[in-house]
């Protein structure tokens, strides 16, 4: 262990010590902190007592708790924090009663910060409504999940929904440098090398808490220099602290695009081992798992299609699972989807079909809808001949009737040409029969 170990034992975690005390110290989220914005107004001690409640939605480590505490300190409001993991309806009602008392007796409003509100049941969220609606509390709720699916509608309608963004690399560099020099942090007891700073930023994936936790662990490993100077944190210390390899991977640069490109092409080429390798590189480099999941969904639709109709639902399910359980466990459904897509039958026929159809439309290759297919339900439509001659397919024994569907200008045009691969082989045979009937052959 390094000589600095004793400096950090028994202390409050660095990420907690470095938490901003005002909105001016908050890193990132500039889109939410402009003059006159709801959060800035909420932090103003002269603002109205019945300020709007807010729901903060964003990835972990983007400053939800930090914003709530900074607003409470700046505004002079009473601050109460509850966690949806441990709190129940009784706890909520007690807070509401105390807040009402504080307002009526001492003219002091209360900020209730509720972390992980998505974990609250409907009944628990219902218990918040009277306090929010009557202004007993200003609710600041935090969630990492889409509030549209996890927060009840009455609470959503009474709150402002504000979306937080992952911190940028510049935001993280500023935070790390401040933590090294600030008296609340490491107080310049260590020196941070440029390579170590870059490694911390790269491995933090926009998460301030992760960056500061890794910095603190790396600082405990740093040794004093040979000349008696302060210990220097290197990239090796960072790698050792976070227990992962320092991969060459810039999430905003060429390597980001090269690795995801190789990942998708390996799936398309049915090389499951290569696909797993590139998936591992992205996970270890801190790539956003939602980005990986989106690319798997695209791959399922573009490269597999109806050759395996189960591929797309499975990819969507993997994306939902990652959103629901988070990382590191999310690596498992991502790996399952990757293995399935890489090893199943492939066809890009649907992808080629829609692109060909779009190309025709953009080139002016369209005409009027055939008269027998036009809407005949509005007044006067039948006088125009709309719907006349339409054959109802369900009246046919085979469910298909000979009639024209494409405009005259495109009659006989073929877009979708299924391949004799996987389940699309059956589609190909069925489509040949359908087209013969439609053509009256």
Q: pLDDT value at position 202?
A: 81
In the numeric block, which tokens belong to residue 419? 């391949």
The pLDDT tens digits for 171-183 are 999 999 999 999 9
Give percent of the chain with pLDDT exceeding 70.
92
Helices (H) and strands (E) in the chain, counts: 20, 7
The torsion angles phi and psi of 417, rounded to 5 degrees, stand at -125, 90
Looking at per-residue pLDDT, the higher value among 305 and 51 belongs to: 305
Q: Which helix (H) or strand (E) holds 157?
A: helix 153-157
Sign for the CA dihedral angle at 425, 428, 429, 431 comes to positive
Average pLDDT, the chain: 85
Hey, which of 12-21, 273-282, 361-370 has the most confident mean pLDDT?
A: 273-282
pLDDT at residue 338, as a whole number? 95
Question: Does the structural domain 254-343 have CATH classification 1.20.272.10?
Answer: yes
Confidence label for 1 from pLDDT (cuts 50, 70 and 90): very low
Bridge-partner residues for 138, per DSSP?
Answer: 111
The whole-number average pLDDT for the span 298-317 is 95
Q: Which two structure tokens, joined as six digits, stand for 210?
A: 């992760």
CATH superfamily of 29-163: P-loop containing nucleotide triphosphate hydrolases (3.40.50.300)
Given this model, what pLDDT does residue 201 score?
Answer: 87
The CATH number assigned to the domain with range 350-438 reads 1.10.3710.10
Q: What is the CATH number of domain 168-242?
A: 1.10.8.60
Whether the per-residue pLDDT at 250 is higher than 70: the answer is no
Residue 20 has pLDDT above 50, yes or no: yes
State how far Cα 256 lies from the chain centre: 18
Contact criterion met (CB below 8 Å) for 205 and 251? yes
CA terminus-to-terminus distance, the chain: 83
Instruction: Give the pLDDT band (50/70/90) at residue 344.
Output: very high
The predicted structure's pLDDT at residue 276: 93
Average pLDDT over residues 73-94: 86
In the chain, what are the domain boundaries?
A: 29-163, 168-242, 254-343, 350-438
Q: What are the residues facing 57 on neighbouring strands?
A: 143, 163
């Amino acid at each position: 262990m390094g000589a600095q170990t004793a400096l950090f034992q028994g202390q409050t975690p660095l990420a907690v010590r470095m938490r901003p005390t005002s909105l001016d110290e908050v890193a990132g989220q500039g889109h939410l902190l402009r003059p006159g914005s709801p959060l800035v107004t909420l932090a103003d001690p002269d603002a109205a007592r019945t300020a709007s409640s807010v729901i903060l939605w964003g990835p972990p480590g983007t400053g939800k708790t930090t914003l709530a505490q900074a607003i409470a300190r700046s505004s002079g409001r009473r601050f109460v924090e509850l966690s949806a993991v441990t709190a129940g309806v009784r706890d909520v009602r007690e807070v509401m009663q105390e807040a009402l008392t504080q307002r009526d007796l001492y003219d002091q409003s209360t900020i209730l910060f509720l972390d992980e509100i998505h974990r609250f049941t409907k009944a628990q969220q219902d218990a918040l409504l009277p306090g929010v609606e009557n202004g007993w509390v200003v609710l600041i709720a935090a969630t990492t999940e889409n509030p549209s699916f996890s927060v009840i509608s009455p609470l959503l309608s009474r709150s402002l929904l504000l979306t937080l963004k992952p911190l940028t690399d510049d935001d993280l560099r500023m935070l790390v440098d401040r933590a090294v020099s600030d008296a609340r942090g490491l107080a310049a007891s260590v020196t941070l090398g440029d390579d170590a700073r870059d490694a911390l930023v790269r491995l933090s994936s926009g998460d301030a808490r992760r960056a500061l936790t890794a910095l603190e662990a790396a600082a405990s490993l740093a040794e004093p220099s040979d000349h008696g100077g302060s210990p220097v944190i290197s990239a090796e210390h960072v790698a050792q602290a976070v227990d992962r390899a320092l991969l060459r991977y810039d999430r905003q640069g060429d390597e980001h695009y090269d690795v995801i490109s190789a990942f998708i092409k390996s799936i398309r080429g049915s090389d499951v081992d290569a696909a797993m390798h590139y998936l591992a590189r992205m996970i270890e480099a801190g790539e956003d798992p939602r980005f990986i999941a989106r690319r798997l969904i695209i791959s399922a639709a573009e490269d597999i299609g109806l050759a395996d109709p189960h591929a797309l639902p499975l990819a969507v399910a993997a994306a939902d699972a990652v959103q629901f359980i988070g990382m590191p466990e999310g690596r498992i459904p991502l790996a399952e989807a990757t293995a399935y897509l890489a090893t199943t039958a492939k066809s890009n026929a649907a992808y080629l079909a829609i692109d060909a159809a779009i190309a025709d439309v953009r080139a002016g290759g369209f005409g009027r809808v055939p008269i027998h297919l036009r809407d005949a339900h509005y007044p006067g439509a039948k006088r125009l001949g709309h719907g006349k001659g339409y054959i109802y397919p369900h009246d046919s024994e085979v469910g298909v009737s000979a009639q024209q569907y494409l405009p005259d200008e495109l009659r006989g045009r073929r877009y979708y040409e299924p391949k004799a691969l996987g389940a699309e082989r059956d589609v190909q045979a069925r489509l040949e029969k359908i087209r013969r009937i439609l053509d009256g052959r």
